[in-house]
Structure 1
Amino acid sequence: MARIPKELVDQIIQTADIVEVVGDFVQLKRKGQNLWAPCPFHNEKSPSFSVNPAKSLYKCFGCGKAGGVVQFVMDVEGTSYVEALKYLAKKYAITIEEEEKTPQQQQEQNERDSQFIVSDWAKNHYHRLLLNSEEGMSIGYGYLKERGLNLTTIQQFELGYSLDSWDDLLKAAEAAGYDKKYLEKTGLTVIRTDDQGHDTGRRYDRFRGRVMFPIHNISGRVVGFGARTLKRDDKMAKYLNSPESDIYHKSDVLYGLFQARQAIRTEEMCYLVEGYLDVLSLYQGGIKNVVASSGTSLTEGQIRLIKRYSDNVTVLYDGDAAGIKASLRGTDLLLEGGLNVRVVLFPNGDDPDSYIRKVGDQRFTEYIENQSQDFITFKTTLVAREASGDPVKKAEAIRDVLHSIAKVPDAIKRSVFLQQTSATFGIDEQVLITEYNKLVKAPAAKPSGSGSGSPGTYSRGAGGATPGFPANADARSGPPARALSDEEEAEMLMYGGAEATAGMPGASPNYEPGAGTPDEAADLPDLLQTCEREVLRLLVLYAAREVDTEVSVAAYLLGQLDEAPLKTPLYAEMWEICRQELLAGRFPEARTLAQNERADIRRLITDLATERYEISPNWRTKEIYVFNEVDLPKLACDNAVLRLNKVHVQRELDRAMDRLRLPGLDDAEMFEILGTIKGLKQLDNQLAGMLGTVIPRGA
């Protein structure tokens, strides 16, 4: 895809009015400086979705969706960054003159466009045959009606029928002026060859006498077909799919996602089934957030598609033991992809399609709500039952479950699953932890292609299984927990406690690390990350505001701290971006920074720049004074820098105390360390006095 020049990107972002863009999807109402509405991404009664016109940012304080105008289009339409820019350019009549393609690139684009065009034509041809031809109505439509599908569903998914003829589609395409080579490239027709594999010059239709299920990509364009025969012939495949082509890659497509994407986002849940009819029956029954892998093994590309719309997926398993075992392997990929996976098992002999037709829409919905259970619990119970009474099988089953637990990125969930597995199998938890640690250290246990780090080892303490967090621990696992002193707790309260660290690397499973070394964030204390975040927040929000005559907040903060003062990788990257902006003669503004191509930076800037509550102007009339950092930026900056420096001193003090506990120290070494500790304590007290914090450390 051709790159859009930066100057044009800036023009689009500056032109787009976030109130107008968001207003196309929800009804906004002003309350204070911001506008509010029910969130378009999840169901809610009280509006928690806020738009800040001045900063051109939006944030939902319910589901956490946030960003600038480009991110909103990406979220609501499920598009890429470039596609969102094109959407906005079209809305505001901005012409995008993309870089000129080479003759080869232009030829490749023409080939793809031609395949899209002929696929769309074929879809319309099959759809007309289903509803207008005698054979289509009696056989194809009759079959779909027998399966309980109504005309609305048939039209919504654009189902069709291919005549039981060798060349119906081929003749119709030639009559309509379509080049037969594109019929071959998309797999709609097949070249007949002789025994030596030579082209005989004869062509015939791939799909004959079958009900046709068009497969759409996320933009709604037809990329291929699934086709079901209605003949009772054991030698003929029941389902036949389009082959791979320039426009159709099975591993990157989910059947029904185009129709389901909005419902998945709104319901915050994706139901995953196996077949076309499962999707159609559930969708018609009111469960619109459903997609199918179309009988293929689940792929990382398909998992990434689901994750664009929801972190939650429920797999609906057929009541078939052999099928369940085959599906278990694919479900591990969902865990590795960071999704919250639940499972529903239907009675033996039933699949989602047959069961909803048997019990009806309401009872089906009640069944999946009542029978849903997390995947690890489901798998543990299943394999434990099968291995009952056989020690060898039991050991293999335990290792199988541990492999699945190792796929879970979240450390707390892994710890809980280990405890559950211990209880289910009746095996000591420490034995499980030991086996788990062997597993994650083995080279074969490392995730392949997932982009995540090792799940991390565990240790057994007084409180049970808790993360040990080695140097290579996953950033999403969170920093090691430790008891906070009274002073640290007081400072955490000053920052708003958990809310202050929400969305921070190492504190939120939604953190998406950039190109740096996010594993380092897992080893940084909460308080350090909080203080770094506060410095960065002031820099982003008030960069251009003056702290003294002719000295801006940005220049003041950059001057107070070294060039690389932040240890959290994402914060350090953001600090450097702001520094480069200032060196280029521009103030780093939240409005511009929030449109960055990187999702983690967009999310960070939005979190820094948005607040749920505003100070009521009525407080001023009542002469109630509230500290306002906007009016006193120097005080806010000084406090933030002092707190950050104090945390660094406390970290050095902790290291010195650890050194003092090392065995085998001679008198000289101990005297040197004690001197260091004394100096650090004096500095710590000085900083506490400057901050007005009087609680002694460790009191």
Structure 2
Amino acid sequence: MITQHTIDKVFETARVEEVIGDFVQLKKAGSNFKGLSPFVNEKSPSFMVSPVKQIWKDFSSGKGGNAISFIMEHEHYTYPEAIRYLAKKYNIEIDETEQSDEQKVQASERESMYLVSEYARNYFHDVLLNTQKGKAIGLSYFKERGFTDETIKKFELGYALDEWSAFTDAALKKGYQLDFLEKTGLTIVKENQSDPTQSKKFDRFKGRVLFPIHSMAGRVLGFGGRILTSDKKAAKYLNSPESELYHKSKVLYGIFNAKQSIAKKDNCYLVEGYTDVISFYQRGIHNVVASSGTALTSDQIRLINRLTPNITVLFDGDAAGLRASIRGIDLILEQGMNVKVVMFPDGEDPDSFAKKNSLEKLEAYLDANAQDFIRFKVSILMDEVKDDPVKKAGLIRDIVATISKIPNQIQREIYVQECAKIMDISERVLFSELAQLSKNEEREASKRPKDDRQESFTVVKTEAVAFKKTDQLNKLEKQLIEILLLYGNKEIDFEDYVEVEDEEGRTKLVKENYQNKIASEIYLHLQDDEIEFSNATFKKIYFDVIHQLNQDEKITSDGFINHEDPELGRVVTDILMDDEKYALSDWESKEIYVRTKEKSLSKLVMDAILNLRRILIELKIKELIEETPDDDRHSMLEMIVNYTKLKKLLYDRLNRVV
């Protein structure tokens, strides 16, 4: 585990404008920098970086944060991976907390396997490009497939010499241990029981061109190898065996190169093979990954779901086992994702079709032929049943089973209506079958241990008025947090109104002037009224701000920006960068001047406090009406009258009419 000392050093050293500048072209905009959003396609800059505050905000996607959060969002790294990335960038040595001997061995073993895999990638790539046999056999094959030098380098393609132990011997000579070569599956060891020193060592991928398989963070997990000879006894494709690093069901080929494009395009093309991915990428479509010939798994789907809820599955024109592939895609629907399907013409696959067509024609074909998955499934399977009533009944149950996987009730109903039209059957029958399936699932769920069950849905009754008030309350709480973070340290003049009775006993408000620090003023008012924030994030920020005020008599936002709670950091970034959006449009150059909040801070503070009181009083009156028993209505009415008088005073101070 990375020590807090290292994390603090990374935060202190990393400059947000330098980190983001590696990925986004930034231009100076006053005291800030601006650029095009790396998360959405746009022509006008909506991305702002503040070197002073050391934060960024993307006004198109709503994302924002510090240097760490940018790396996590852009590269889809975990928090530790982002820390390691920045530590490497700034040459910061990473300290780790003390681990048990067993943990040290496991961590060391895993890292050793990574190092062996990375050496193998470099070795095979070098053999491909810089040896006579590599160029004559491996490189020639890739060139015949139409891959450019740039593409070959991008995907780090390689070649293993057709010799029994060429790679193993080279790795051992470099000092890599046989134990880790075997555990990664790069080397096969056949033990000699009578004399272990005579054990034989073989290269698993000898004579094959190689496709390194990367994690989402870019580390080498394993390899896929294609044989180039016509040996019928050898498998055409061979993958690394399951290991501590490589779990075939949990990885997708091409995810490292595709992740940014998938997130930006908000769609992922799913193909079957390595060359399908590479040909699409080379043609200009980068949001593409492959399941590498395995049936799609839940873990692979979750990997895509981290980037987008939309998947488009690409099928060969003469795809064998199409029905089995279709059945596997039900898993995607179960996770609430949107699935479309594209079928290529007969005899074509993604690889061949991409090679034969320009980027414009390829994109046009994909757009024109993308079908909704369930409609596609119905149309494909309807051809099989023809006029056979038994087969048609089976198909109907199959389709309804697929629809039942969809979590969204509205989507389910729409699909039932569509399928009823296509299959020429009444909606009532389909809904009845769907209900029967649901009952069966509930019955099965009831048999499972209670802890394993999940509530299928929760009904929440919310009155429109109450929701509106709660929404206003949330906005006012956010406004107070914004004032505290941006202006809490300022000392300004305030106007207060005190109640004074005139000679006739009538109450009137008299203005009184005084000076106070903004944070202290807000604290005193909320303390007097015993007001607590209803939003948990705002409540935590408020308590931290007041603690700073009481301890240091000064409020700083650094601790919030770099906070371990990403939601808290995001909220604070949104607040601190809100006014910077005006700089994106450069209104002053057009002689349009935006009124700044600093010019009316006293009114801004008091309006926020008074409006908060007003909303809380209105919610309290509603609570009294709903919860007071019938036998206590008289006292309830008295309280409501008093609250209403108080509300009228608040409206007077806000210069509004009740």
Normalised to the residue count of structure 2, the TM-score between the two structures is: 0.78
* Other-structure match for 1:64: 62
Q: Which stretch has the larger CA shift, 281-290 or 155-164?
A: 155-164
How far apart, in 2, do the equivalents of 1:170 and 1:430 lie? 61
What is residue 392 of structure 1 aligned with on the other side? 393
Q: Tell me which amino acid in the other structure corresponds to 1:313.
A: I
Is structure 2 residue 565 aligned with structure 1 residue 598? yes
Higher helix proportion? 2
Contact 1:68 1:591 in 2 (8 A): no
**Counterpart amino acid of residue 360 in structure 2:** Q
Per-residue CA deviations over 1:199-223 (Å, capped at 9, x if unaligned) read 9722222123222111123343322
* 2:658 is the alignment partner of 1:687: no
Aligned partners of 1:376 and 1:417 also within 8 Å: no
The one-letter amino acid of 2:609's match is D
1:265 positional shift: 3.9
Q: State the alpha-carbon separation in 2 of the partners of residues 255 and 605 from structure 1.
A: 37
Between the aligned partners of 1:157 and 1:144, the Cα distance in structure 2 is: 12
Which position in structure 2 is the counterpart of 1:207? 205
Q: 2:613 maps to what in 1?
A: 642
Contact 1:581–1:587 under 8 Å retained in 2: yes
Query: Does structure 1 residue 169 correspond to structure 2 residue 183?
Result: no
Match of 2:53 in 1: 55
1:511-536: CA deviations, max 9, x gaps? xxxxxxxxxxxxxx644544444444
1:415 pairs with 2:410: yes
**Deviations 1:435-473 (CA, angstroms, capped at 9, x unpaired):** 68758856649999xx997563xxxxxxxxxxxx526xx
- Give the secondary structure class of the aligned counterpart of 2:117: helix
Q: Decide whether the 8 Å contact of 2:401 with 2:437 is kept in 1.
A: no
Q: 2: CA distance between counterparts of 1:297 and 1:84?
A: 31
The offset of 1:61, in angstroms, is 1.5
SS in 1 for 2:344: strand
1:420-499 counterparts in 2 under 5 A?
A: 420-425=415-420, 426-428=426-428, 438=439, 444=445, 454=455, 456=457, 469-470=458-459, 483=464
- Measured in 2, the distance between the counterparts of 1:617 and 1:257 equals 44
Alignment of 1:314-333 (within 5 A): 314-319=312-317, 323-328=321-326, 330-333=328-331
CA 1:634/1:693 → structure 2, altered by over 3 Å: closer, same or farther?
A: closer
Paired residue type of 2:414: Q
Contact conserved, 1:387 with 1:393, CA < 8 A, in 2?
Answer: no
**Aligned 8 A contact 1:554 1:587 in 2:** no
Whole-Å separation in 2 of the counterparts to 1:95 and 1:214:
29
Q: Which amino acid aligns with 2:59?
A: F
Q: 1:280, CA displacement in angstroms?
A: 0.9
* Residue correspondence of structure 1 range 246-261 to structure 2 within 5 A: 246-261=244-259
Cα RMSD for the two superposed structures = 4.4
Quote the offset at 1:225 in angstroms.
0.7
User: How many angstroms apart in 2 are the aligned matches of 1:302 and 1:579?
Assistant: 46
Q: Distance in 1 between matches of 2:123 and 2:340?
A: 40
**289-298 or 551-560, larger mean C-alpha shift:** 551-560
State the partner residue of 2:2.
3
- Structure 2 unmatched ranges of 5 or more: 421-425, 495-514
CA distance in 2, matches of 1:170, 1:95: 32
Aligned twin of 1:555 = 523
Q: Which moved more, 1:16-25 or 1:180-189?
A: 16-25
Q: What residue in structure 1 maps to residue 504 of structure 2? A: none
Letter paired with 1:164: D
2:578 partner SS: coil
> Which residue does 2:341 correspond to in 1?
343
Q: Which moved more, 1:541-550 or 1:218-227?
A: 541-550
Deviations 1:128-167 (A, max 9, x none): 4334555544443343333332333222212222233332
- SS state at 2:188 partner: strand
Following superposition, the deviation at residue 180 of structure 1 comes to 2.0
For the residue of structure 2 that corresponds to 1:58, the secondary structure is strand
Question: Deviations for 1:64-102, whole angstroms, at most 9, x for unmatched residues?
Answer: 221122212222333222333344445556554333455
User: Residue 394 of structure 2 aligns to which amino acid in structure 1?
Assistant: K
Q: Choose which of 143, 147, 150 in structure 2 pairs with 1:149.
A: 147
Give yes or no for contact 1:440–1:455 (8 Å, CA) kept in 2: no
Distance 1:563 1:647, change over 3 A: closer
| Change beyond 3 A, Cα 1:17–1:182 | closer
Kindly tell me: are residues 434 and 216 of structure 1, through their superposed partners in 2, closer, same or farther at Cα, counting changes over 3 Å?
Answer: closer
Q: Secondary structure at the match of 1:552?
A: helix
User: For residue 503 of structure 2, what is the aligned residue in structure 1?
Assistant: none
Q: How does 1:292-311 map to 2 (within 5 A)?
A: 292-311=290-309
Amino acid at match of 1:274: E
The alpha-carbon distance between structure 1 residues 18 and 140, as it changes in their structure 2 partners (threshold 3 A), is closer
- How far 1:179 sits from its partner (Å)? 2.6
Q: CA deviation at 1:194?
A: 7.7
Aligned in 2, Cα 1:651/1:210: closer, same or farther, shift over 3 Å? farther
State percent identity of aligned pairs: 36
CA distance in structure 2 between the aligned counterparts of 1:614 and 1:446, rounded to whole angstroms: 58
- C-alpha displacement of 1:386: 6.4
The letter for the 2-side match of 1:683 is Y
- Offset at 1:583? 7.0
How far has the Cα of 1:258 moved from its partner? Answer: 2.3
Shift of 1:367: 1.0
Q: CA deviation at 1:633?
A: 5.0
Rg bigger for which structure? Answer: 2
Call closer, same or farther: CA 1:76–1:435 in 2, change over 3 Å: same
Q: Extract unaligned runs of 5+ from structure 1.
A: 409-413, 457-468, 472-479, 492-524, 660-668
Compared with structure 1, are the counterparts of its residues 423 and 270 closer, same or farther at alpha carbon in structure 2 (3 Å cutoff)? closer
Structure 1 residues 84 and 128, CA gap change in structure 2 (3 angstroms): closer
Q: Report the AA paired with residue 222 of structure 2.
A: G
- The answer to whether the 8 Å contact 1:278/1:353 transfers is yes
Q: Describe the shift of the 1:337–1:695 C-alpha distance in structure 2 as closer, same or farther (beyond 3 A).
A: farther
Equivalence for 1:85: 83
**SS in structure 2 at match of 1:212:** strand
AA aligned opposite 1:254: L
Q: Deviations over 1:498-553 (max 9, x none)?
A: xxxxxxxxxxxxxxxxxxxxxxxxxxx64454444444444544444557635626
- TM-score norm. by structure 1 comes to 0.74
CA 1:30–1:328 in structure 2 vs 1: closer, same or farther (change >3 Å)? Answer: same
- Residues 589, 224 of structure 1: alpha-carbon distance in 2 compared, 3 angstrom cutoff: same
SS in 2 for 1:611: helix
Which amino acid in 1 is paired with 2:561?
A: A
Correspondence 1:28 to 2:26? yes
The offset of 1:60, in angstroms, is 1.3
Using a 3 Å threshold, how does the CA distance of structure 1 residues 40 and 385 change in structure 2: closer, same or farther?
A: same
Residues 1:52 and 1:629: Cα distance change in structure 2 (over 3 Å): farther
Shift of 1:370: 1.6
- Structure 1 residues 536, 328: CA separation in 2 closer, same or farther (over 3 Å shift)? farther
1:240 positional shift: 1.1
Alpha-carbon deviation of 1:22? 2.8
Distance 1:287 1:204 in 2: 38
* Amino acid in the other structure paired with 2:2: R
Using the TM superposition, give the Cα deviation of residue 625 of structure 1 relative to its aligned residue in structure 2, in angstroms: 9.4
- Within 2, Cα distance between the matches of 1:230 and 1:127? 17
Shift of 1:430: 7.3
